[in-house]
Homo-oligomer: A and B are copies of this chain.
Amino acid sequence: MTQTLTCKDVIYAFSKDHAPVKHVEPGTTIEIETYDCFENQVQSAETKIAGIDWDRINPATGPIFVNGAQPGDVLKVAIDKLEIRSQGVMATGPELGVMGHRLDELVSKIIPIEDGFALFNDKVKVPLNPMIGVIGVAPEDEPVSCGTPGAHGGNMDTKLITEGATLYFPVFTEGALFALGDFHAAMGDGEIGVSGIEVPGKTTVTLDIVKGTSLRHPVLVNEEGIAFIVSAATLDEAVKTAVEEAIDFLLPHTDMTLAELTMLMSAAGDTQISQVVDPLMTARFFVPKYILDAYDVKPFA
């Protein structure tokens, strides 16, 4: 029977000091329920978002202790299934997001979800791309708010984190202490207004440990290829580090020189933006699958 975790167990920061709410064996499949990023406090257009409890923001369900995971290992998280509820909410306001300097009031908006679309208003239907905003493990050092991304994952707000994708995280503490939350029914790269279409939901993930290899930043593998995800103070820094992570990962698998691989990545790899508002910036470097296949690279297999 699939194990489950309900959203009565949430954290607001990733921390190695948190007591796990569940222990699982490597290879376990588990169903996890999540609140939306406002902990479901905004249920109707009448809710004054400025008046909600701002200590209950970005809850992540967990943490889960994966038996046998040790610092220096890699935690493998396969997103087997991702389900979202039928009502989303967005918000933006002063000092939030890219346009915050021109907004004078915190506002929210209820958005019904129907037949594969988010009904933004009476004119615009946004196609859904359901994804997980917050996902990660306990960080190496101090606790990190679930609103902030980092090498441990966290609030990466990356569109690729969706059903069918597999994530790999560095493990910094015994058991990894995995948690997730903050689903979006739809989000654009950048998440420029500081929210996606925030929505509660349920996901099924399979947690496993990869021994004998390590990571500095999260990596994502999907049917199209592999993404090296890096969060940093600036986009420029995040992008450069992501490129270097990709090249250092691939180089030993090929017979290319560093210069040749750099040229190949210049021709065929893509620098992409995940988010620019969280408050660190998250970027990724994406390498298409045909390049992995050409060198028979099976990441973390």
Using a CB–CB cutoff of 8 Å, the interface residues on chain A facing chain B are 90-93, 97-99, 102-103, 105, 107, 109, 118, 120-121, 123-127, 186-197, 234-236, 239-240, 243-244, 247, 256, 258-260, 262-273, 276, 281, 283, 285, 290-291, 294-295
Contact = CB atoms under 8 A, between A and B. Distances in A.
Nearest to A93: B259
B103 A262 contact: yes
Which of A99, A118, A126, A236 gathers the greatest number of chain B CB atoms within 10 Å? A99
A268 B195 CA distance: 11
Given A234-B234, A235-B236, A273 B272 contact: yes
Given A90-B263, A92-B262, A276 B192 contact: no
A190 B276 contact: no
Nearest to A184: B267
Contacts of A273: 239, 270-273, 283
A267 B197 contact: yes
The 10 closest A-B pairs by CB, nearest first: A193-B266, A190-B271, A235-B235, A189-B270, A193-B262, A123-B294, A90-B263, A99-B262, A271-B273, A188-B269
Given A244-B98, A262-B99, A118 B239 contact: no
B109 A260 contact: yes
A84 to B, nearest CB: 13
A282 to B, nearest CB: 11
A98 to B, nearest CB: 5
Contacts of A260: 107, 109, 121
Contacts of A276: 236, 239-240, 271
B266 A192 contact: yes
Nearest to A275: B271
14 contacts: A90-B267, A91-B263, A92-B263, A99-B258, A124-B291, A125-B290, A126-B264, A126-B267, A188-B267, A192-B271, A193-B266, A194-B266, A195-B263, A239-B276
A2 B92 CA distance: 51
Contacts of A186: 267-268
Contacts of A125: 290
Nearest to A240: B98
A103 B259 contact: yes
Which of A93, A98, A121, A187 gathers the greatest number of chain B CB atoms within 10 Å? A98
A86 B190 CA distance: 37
Given A121-B260, A268-B126, A247 B99 contact: yes
A269 B265 CA distance: 26
A71 to B, nearest CB: 28
Contacts of A258: 99, 102-103
Given A124-B264, A124-B294, A271-B276, A190 B239 contact: yes
Given A97-B262, A276-B239, A188 B270 contact: yes
